Amino acid sequence: MTGAKTRPGGAAAAIERLYFAPVSVHPIVLCRIFLGTILFSCYALYAPYIEAIWGPRGVTREYLEQLSSVFGVSVAPLTWAQDHVWAIYALLLVSAAAFAAGFMTRLSGLVMLVCHIFFAESRFHTWGWSPTIMPFIVYVVCGRAGARLSVDAWLRRRREPGRPDPETAPAWPLRLIQLHVLAIYAAAAWHRIDDPGWLRGDVLFEVLTSDVWSRLSIDLHALAGVLRLATWASWSVELLAPFALIWRRTRTTWVVLLTGLHVGLELGAELGWWQPLMVSLLVVFWPRGLARRVVERVERALPGGRCRLNGQEETD
Amino acid sequence: VTRRRSPARTLALILLLAYSAILLLASWPAEVAPAFVAGPGELSRNFFRLFRTRAVNFLFPGRGLDQKGRRICVVVFGLQADGAVTRVYQPADRCHPPGVRLRLNLFDGLVRNLVVVATDAAPKTRERGRTNRWISSLDGEPVEELVGRLRSSEVLDPLSQFFCKSRPESRSVQMAVYHDAVDYRTGAVSSWLEVIHHYDCVGAARLDSGWLPAEKMRAAAPDLPLAPLATNGERP
């Protein structure tokens, strides 16, 4: 291969810039912290159920044996993992904490992912967020997620004092997160356009009163009309999200609207970790510079952090 | 002015574009996709399933407004050799939904989800998704058909096997569901308590007879609210 020629103003160059131009490293750093925290929190809360669900005598083992004996599926790796479930569980918690803290970031992210796959394989216990989070972990691991606000960055500063902290990284991991978030909203909202429940505006009432999802055991029947309007409003926000998040002039408004939607749903309904996941991922659409300011502010507040004063980098 | 792109970068760009295309195709719902996109879209979603992950989720399919399941409770009874009926499993909230639920009890959620999966033999419709069939049986299929399908479902065999092993003194286990729903159009409350799975712990086989009657289950669990909350149309 001799390589392709590209003109700076051409479409190929634009695509190349889209994926490879340097972009701020800060959004993906925040994604790392949020995703690691979500998985750590999720599995820490699973502790009382590990033995009964994933243990060697747990429910999942019975299902694996059925898969093996009735359907002839090879389940040996999973049964081996179940025999060592507490070790894998501990490894998952440690790696999730390390990933959130940015310690050996890439390795801890991959270990966390593999451990999560083992638990997620029996996912009839949870919602769709569990398999959906996996590609996002991969994107973040591929990015320079440990470049800032991390133990790795702190160790690097000790090793190489005076060396500036990374501000940018190739865009493609960030672009994949952005594209995937757009895909999630497109799929979630647009499949409903011929759905009677959504067209009638019933869904929010259903979710908030359902015995399965609702957090509150209260009668919302009197508010059914308001909830119908809220259903249409929230659906509109999701329907337009794939476009409004791309267009710079509407992006910030839609980040605020979508964040409000997810926070509202989290307060009213128990849907696993969907809402924290989506709010975390919306970081990649935050207004320009906001993620950097957040990262730098936290770095300044941490002992041994590095701050930027008058254009010069100094160690606290 | 032109510049030469390195072969490695060209390859990376091709891979990124291909992946992005797969992602976009996967996100395209069949409802708005032209026919020629539907096939590749399904292939794209299968690509992600290959890696045990999911590209997108088609969340919250259609729901009905008028019928609401307000209390659905799974209880497992064990039958001992002397004919005594014991309780093997009950939800952590003892069938009393809490005023505010912070986090779902994972094991209870698992048990109920498995029961929902067991009802999956029925065709799903746009009007009523799988979960909703279960929640709102008032407006769905007759209770007898739902219960009959559950009783013959192999999905619940491993779960019953688990309960057998957790209580070795049980000769058989019977999984029962108490279902209480209200029709908001009429205010009518409907409830039923039925065994949905009977499993022989000794022979490790599903049984299709000998189901406990509701009265016997209520007697074995007098502290659980396995009777209607209200019968006069009062809303929960």
The residue with tokens 């992600």 is B48
CA distance A214 to A265: 10
Q: Answer yes or no: do A180 and B28 touch at CB < 8 A.
A: no
CA distance A59 to A191: 34
pLDDT of B62 above 60 = no
CA distance B133 to A60: 25
Q: Once rounded to an integer, what is the mean pLDDT over residues B79-101?
A: 88
Q: Which of B20, B70, B126 to mutate to test the interface with A (most CBs of A within 10 A)?
A: B20
Q: pLDDT tens across A86-140, in order?
A: 999 999 999 999 999 999 999 999 999 999 998 887 655 567 888 899 999 999 9
What count of other Cβ atoms lies within 10 Å of the Cβ of residue A43?
18
Closest CA to B48 of B11, B16, B15, B19: B19
- The least confident of A5-9, B60-64, B174-178 is B60-64
Residue of chain A with shortest Cα separation from B114: A124
CA distance B170 to B72: 25
Chain B closest CA to A307's CA: distance in Å?
Answer: 34
Contacts of A264 (CB under 8 A, 6+ apart): A234
CA distance A164 to B29: 46
pLDDT of B56 above 90 = no
Given a cut of 70, the residues of chain A with pLDDT beneath it are 1-9, 122-126, 304-316
CA distance A274 to A227: 21
CA distance B177 to B214: 10
Q: Answer yes or no: do B13 and A216 touch at CB < 8 A.
A: no
Higher-pLDDT residue of B32 and B172 is B172
Q: pLDDT tens across A13-32, in order?
A: 899 999 999 999 999 999 99
Structural contact between residues B219 and B170, judged by C-beta atoms closer than 8 angstroms:
no
Q: Answer yes or no: do B5 and A215 touch at CB < 8 A.
A: no
Letter for the amino acid at B84? A
Q: Answer yes or no: do B64 and A202 touch at CB < 8 A.
A: yes
How does DSSP classify residue A45?
H
Q: Please spell the DSSP secondary structure of A117-153, one letter per residue.
A: HHHHTTGGGS-THHHHHHHHHHHHHHTTTTSSSSHHH
Predicted pLDDT at A261:
96
Structural contact between residues A284 and A178, judged by C-beta atoms closer than 8 angstroms:
yes
CA distance B27 to B56: 6
The residue with tokens 């894998």 is A88
Query: Residue A102 in 3-state DSSP?
Result: coil
- The answer to whether residue A190 neighbours chain B at the CB level (below 8 Å) is yes
pLDDT of B133 above 80 = no
Contacts of B183 (CB under 8 A, 6+ apart): B66, B67, B138, B139, B189, B190
Task: Report the alpha-carbon angle A310-A311-A315, nearest 5.
Answer: 85
Structural contact between residues A18 and A6, judged by C-beta atoms closer than 8 angstroms:
no
| Contact list, A45 vs chain B (CB under 8 Å) | 103, 106
Residue of chain A with shortest Cα separation from B236: A219
**Residue B173: enclosing H or E segment and its boundaries?**
strand B170-183
Query: Residue B89 in 3-state DSSP?
Result: strand
Q: Answer yes or no: do A186 and B56 touch at CB < 8 A.
A: yes
Higher-pLDDT residue of B101 and A105 is A105
